[in-house]
Structure 1
Amino acid sequence: IKFECVRVGCEEDDVGEQRRDLEAGLQALVASGAAPVGPDGKLLGNCACLIKPGKLLISRSGRSPTDAINYSRDFPVCVAFDKDRWQVEFRAESDASRPSSDTPLHWFSLVEAPRAFGWPRGATFVLHGHTFATSEEAALLGVPISEEETLFSTKEDVQALSDLLRLHPYPQHKAFIRKGHGFLILSETMQEAIDTLNGLLERKALKGARGAEG
């Protein structure tokens, strides 16, 4: 994590349904292999949900793919993101439940992009994994990709995503690739995001099989 995390209390909203949605997203990432395991044994994938204007429920940083879901621990709520100080304020049961290292990307996608780019409606969910990250995969899948590779969790990371979303607005586009980082799927529901992910995986498998035959 390359931004400061400040816990400002415990979550007070009833977010049980949204937690179950994010649990389903994490399970889909693991089951499909769309979020591989990093060298440190942690899952390279996460998800988030807009629960109110300016408030995100998000999967915590540092999850292992074998970790059992703990609703009170695994889904902190981000209530503010300061772009100048590069700082997130979050609510959770403890300081250890820090939000995902991709919080800056998810905050921009769900909170800032609709307003910045005049989208008629914004997304409610974002699903992210590291499976698709190359120009070749983007061309194969027909998914827009950013030009720049950047360090994760940085201002440059968000700027590259901003440029991508500005040129390829939601909901005309729902899947995006950050070059060298991974995919982001924006959606109205988590099931829609999972269906989009499965469609991309099937498309890659089908085109890969055709290529092998040729």
Structure 2
Amino acid sequence: MAEAKIISERRTSVDDVFDYLQRQIATLKLKPGDRISEAEIAAQFGISRQPVRDAFSRLANQDLLLIRPQRATEVRRFSSRAIEKARFIRAAIEKEVLIRAATYCDAEGADQLRKQLSDQQLAVAQSDHEAFGRLDYEFHKTLCQIARADYAFDVILEEKAKIDRLCMLGHDKEQRLPVLLADHRAVAEAVITCDPTVAVEAGMIHLSRLDETLERIKASNANYFEQTSP
């Protein structure tokens, strides 16, 4: 029993460090290329280095940290190839989700979508980017539930997390929120009216918003991207 308690406490420490660093990276408090020390994080949390090492490993598996033997661990820079891959996977999954959501949407699903759009409208009116970000996740999760494919959200969540910090670098947040809300309205309306073709078209337009952001950030913050071989 005592051994089980120790293991449980250790997992809690790993989770605490992982969640903290993930937030720091996602919000760009830790920027691409920043160095990070196991010893410093362990001292900050008042724990041994092993839980920190385990948390680092989990973050590396999410492509958020770059761990190299005998060299400093650093926040992973953006990979154009990884971004392209994440976008490809997400587009493939979301196409199927939107087709199924438009097929299965009922009155309860329609009410959920309308309520979420109302909440998003309030976040936009208040320029609350953090709240809108949370609502964005809920919106896509609800679409998966309406599609009777809640498991698809696990894939979307994983791929979305890989590029969300990229969006944080955008210098047009005030302009982006109304555009994203309009995209969500178009998607929701097509799903509610059971029109899978329009739902997919609106969904793909929504995903394409990343392309402009990516090119702009590449031009202004080239050092945040991994260098590719000529």
Instruction: Give yes or no for TM over 0.5.
Output: no
Highest CA radius of gyration, 1 or 2? 2
* Structure with greater helix share of residues: 2
* Structure with greater strand share of residues: 1
TM-score (norm 1): 0.29
